[in-house]
Structure 1
């Protein structure tokens, strides 16, 4: 039996930063209507302009992911932590990539082609999604262009039954909206072992992030047999990150 390592850190503009702070912060203030207005006006993600029917969700196999070295994108980098808004200032918002994937299975949305091209932005210029060959992706059409929902993907693995599934998502199940989640993780018969590396974590943090209820820690790796299938993965995003970004489906 093979093992698959997942480099899938907890990161998003709306997650609980107490679990895994990813960005430097300069000051922290309570959320106010004015700040919400600023967030809407200057948000670098395109989700504030998205029409709900424009969301496309699919399982795809990477064909190419090329960086656009001519792109320069600056603005207000805004991060939401629970009920507070944190601003890290005016800076480069991300590096632009041109992505092309083979569509293996469409989960939601209007798209009929066998391949899909879209724009992807990464804050640090090293998109982690590129480390996985097969992923479940979330893209949205804005002004006729398809954009990846920033950082939103699930690494996908085949099960003994020939189905696609993703291991327990620490990021999503610990989102600020976690108390509204109705999806439950279930035991998945992955064909091969799947694990997260914990070598970068202090021992005191491992159990906090990788709950013993869902993970077995051995050899500085967090193994899990729990996860979700595509339909529940979509629900999980809709109840957490996409909800925070104002994206709803009928």
Structure 2
């Protein structure tokens, strides 16, 4: 029994170091995941209150930056004004925080800005999703990590879970990312535009079933594992 406890302690210590967070709760339900304020990331399960589009270029003064340039030969100076124009669609979003997963926003509801080059943000199509935000260094407002979100589900015991997404840069042989069987028939991805090699990269058979060029997740992962996976892949450079 003592030997088993020692092995568990060693595994847990390794787990904590590898996920880059000082506090991780490995419960499947994950009431609160971890804190590492050196990483500018806030992850949570959020319930949509409002997503309202606005013109990001409506306040031109905020998009201007002036700089004084000195001519070393003549000693003359001139002020150059740079004008920034945002090409993306912009949205003011308000969400209720159902479960905090990484870092603490200190609030039960949160407002943030989201930008999307293709139209309405995909995360807004669902009432409840996992969202990833960062905080502006300039004025402290929260903004959405562009295009990043995860769908969220509950198992028969009420535990939240999701499924991994692959972008080709992660180590898919990671033994810790095994997952468990799920039935997500309503989650489908059209892969007809991908060749066979790309399908293996983005929809590996260990986690997806592909039939008639439609990929469906067959393995789920609990949220504590999802956050660790995201920190070590998508957000490893934050």
Name the TM tier (shorter chain): 0.5 to 0.7
Contact 1:194 1:224 survives alignment (8 Å) = no
- 1:71 is matched with 57
Q: Deviations over 1:167-222 (max 9, x none)?
A: 23133xx22x43796740401445x5343222642564545532223222235422
**What is aligned with 2:185?**
193
Q: Does 1:122 align with 2:116?
A: yes
Closer, same or farther: CA 54–199 of 1 in aligned 2, 3 Å: closer
- Give me the whole-angstrom Cα distance separating, in 2, the residues matched to 1:209 and 1:111: 32
Q: How does 1:4-83 map to 2 (within 5 A)?
A: 52=38, 54-71=40-57
1:233 is paired with a residue whose SS is helix
1:54 is displaced (CA, Å) by 4.7
**1:68 shift after superposition:** 1.1
String of CA shifts for 1:138-160, please: whole Å, max 9, x gaps: 11222221111222211111212
TM-superposition CA deviations, 1:2-32 (whole Å, max 9, x none) = xxxxxxxxxxxxxxxxxxxxxxxxxxxxxxx
The 1:206/1:240 distance shift into structure 2, 3 A limit, reads closer
Counterpart position of 2:22: none
- Gaps of at least 5 residues in structure 2 are 1-36, 64-83
SS at match of 2:236: helix
SS in 1 for 2:188: strand
Distance, in Å, in 1 between the alignment partners of 2:226 and 2:115 is 22
Return the alpha-carbon distance in structure 2 between the equivalents of residues 136 and 227 of structure 1: 14
Asked if residue 153 in structure 1 is aligned to residue 145 in structure 2, the reply is no
Aligned partner of residue 125 in structure 1, secondary structure: coil
Larger Rg: 2
Gaps of 5+ in 1: 1-50, 75-89
Query: Please, what TM-score do these two structures have when normalized by structure 1?
Result: 0.60
1:36-77: CA deviations, max 9, x gaps? xxxxxxxxxxxxxxx625532110111211111243799xxx
Aligned pair partner of 2:207 in 197, 214, 221: 214
Tell me the secondary structure at the aligned position of residue 170 of structure 1: coil
Distance 1:223 1:180 in 2: 20
**Scaled by the length of structure 2, what TM-score is found?**
0.63
Alignment of 1:80-91 (within 5 A): none
Instruction: Point out which structure has higher relative CO (alpha carbons under 8 A, 6+ apart).
Output: 1
Out of 95, 99, 104, the residue aligned to residue 110 of structure 1 is 104
Q: Determine helix, strand or coil for the equivalent of 1:104.
A: strand
Query: Partner residue of 1:228?
Result: 221
Distance 1:183 1:63, change over 3 A: farther
What root-mean-square deviation, in Å, do the aligned CA atoms of Structure 1 and Structure 2 show? 3.1
